[in-house]
Structure 1
Amino acid sequence: MKRFKNSIYVGLPIFLIFAVSIVLHASWVEQFDSFFQGLVRSVSGLQNLMLKITVLAAPKLDLVWMLLIAVILWLKKRRPLAISLVVTLVSADAVGFIVKHIVQRARPVQHLAIDDGFSFPSGHTLGMGIIVIWIIMVMLPRVMENKTHRIWIDTLLIIWLIIVMCSRIYVFAHYPSDVCGSVALALTWVGAVELIIYPILNRYWRLDYK
């Protein structure tokens, strides 16, 4: 259980720093966004590719990935994991919606018409962040004993999450601080939900979290 506590210790302060700084219009956030937006956009000609990536990470499609993973886990008699994933992603989407309407940050002026609503946090990044971090922190340690294989899968998943983050910046759907804050929120939420849901699930299934 220590890793879940550590995820909160790391994720929550970072998320709060971004959220509060955005609300207060801190100058460092503008500099942060300007630098990383320029860095991501330094490679031209990727608009169509980035749009396809952002579709794969859309919140509605995240629910499809969630259900697919949950059904497989349920059929494999890994029902606590299936319940954990569903609860984590659905509740995170709700929290993300609430935070959006508290912070009320406008999107970059260049954003596409399809991207409406508030900018912080990024729903695409939050949803994919939840799935990626949950797989790395919750599922793989319980279903895969080979640590080398886990490291390779963890690395690929992290690279995919970074690509999703970059795609949202590239198409001007979000600022860099939006996607970074979203990952911090996802890290926090995965840890928090596991700490809350563990004693409940442990009443019905013998769990072996450490």
Structure 2
Amino acid sequence: MAGIEFGILYFLQSLHTSWLDVFMKEITSLGDHGIFWIAAGVVLLCFKKTRFIGLCILFSLAAGLLIGNMVLKNMIARERPCWIDDSIPLLIRNPKDYSFPSGHTLASFEGAVSIWLYNRKWGAAALILAALISVSRMYLFVHFPTDVLGGMILGILIAVFVHSTVENIRISKKNTCFPVDL
């Protein structure tokens, strides 16, 4: 499997151009520390009409940070491709944490799927952004394809679970006296 994954990564390395390097670095920076998705969640939380989606994004990001970045990365302890083959020059700072799952991909799919479950039009745009961020991680040689796939699957599962849970609370709130306005 590692041979196939390196084959994909080396193919992506063959696509490098100066403009694509700049584009991928900018795209990946949107996923740094989940800041884009945190900002989106906070902004959406500020308006009653979008409060539900803001809560879903922020709760999903918190769950993903705990499950993906704090537990799975350290439990699996998979080395990054740039640690194994250091002959490929990195365009970004060499990450210090483990590779699986991709935290950028995890956060991006948590945010994008949370939006998509609420609004298909905006969600489609968010999913395209999440996919671009995910590809950028492989293009920049800091994640294997299965790291990205794992982050994507986990992000989708967490977002769907959180959406369902928050929706159930919102429905039960309508039937009972619940102090928080979702």
**For this structure pair, what is the TM-score category when the shorter chain's length is used for normalisation?**
0.7 to 0.9
Contact 2:41 2:53 in 1 (8 A): no
| Rounded Cα–Cα distance in structure 2 between residues aligned with 1:192 and 1:178 | 21
Alignment pair present for 1:56 and 2:36:
no
Q: Paired residue for 2:67? A: 95
Q: SS at the partner of 2:146?
A: helix
Asked whether the equivalents of residues 32 and 177 of structure 1 are also in contact (C-alpha less than 8 Å), the reply is no
Counterpart in the other structure of 1:126: 106
Report the CA distance shift for 1:65/1:163 in structure 2 as closer, same or farther (over 3 A): same
Summarize the Cα distance change of 1:172–1:64 in structure 2 as closer, same or farther, 3 Å threshold: same
Structure 1 unpaired stretches of 5+: 1-27, 142-149
| SS, match of residue 97 in structure 2 | coil
Are 1:201 and 2:170 matched, yes or no? Answer: yes
Q: 1:47 is matched with which residue? A: 21
- The separation in 1 between residues aligned to 2:50 and 2:128, in whole angstroms, is 27
- Structure 1 residue runs of 4 or more that deviate by more than 6 Å after TM superposition: none
Displacement of 1:172 in angstroms is 1.4
Distance 1:140 1:94, change over 3 A: same
TM-superposed CA distance for 1:178, in Å, is: 0.6
Aligned with 1:65 (options 34, 37, 40): 40
Which residue identity is paired with 1:81?
I
Q: Which residue of 2 aligns with 1:13?
A: none
Number of the residue aligned with 1:81: 53
Structure ranking higher on relative contact order (CA contacts 8 Å, 6+ apart): 1
Q: CA RMSD in A?
A: 2.2
Number of paired residues?
A: 164
Counterparts of 2:49 and 2:93, CA distance in 1: 44
Provide closer, same or farther for how the CA distance between residues 32 and 162 of structure 1 changes in structure 2, counting only shifts above 3 A. Answer: farther
Distance 2:125 2:165 in 1: 28
Q: TM-score, length-normalised on structure 2?
A: 0.78
> How far does the alpha carbon of each residue in 1:112-160 deviate from its partner, in whole angstroms, 9 at most, with x for none?
54411111111111111111111112x216xxxxxxxx3xx44433332
Q: Name the structure 2 match of 1:159.
A: 128
- Which residue is 2:4 aligned to? 32
Name 2:157's counterpart in structure 1: 188
Which residue in 2 is equivalent to 1:135? Answer: 115
TM-score (norm 1): 0.69
The one-letter code of the counterpart of 1:66 is G
Amino acid corresponding to residue 155 of structure 2 in structure 1: A
Contact in 1 for aligned 2:44/2:51 (Cα 8 Å): no
| 5+ residue gaps, structure 2 | 176-182
Contact kept, 8 Å, 2:43 with 2:54, in 1: the verdict is: no
Calculate percent identity across the aligned residue pairs.
23
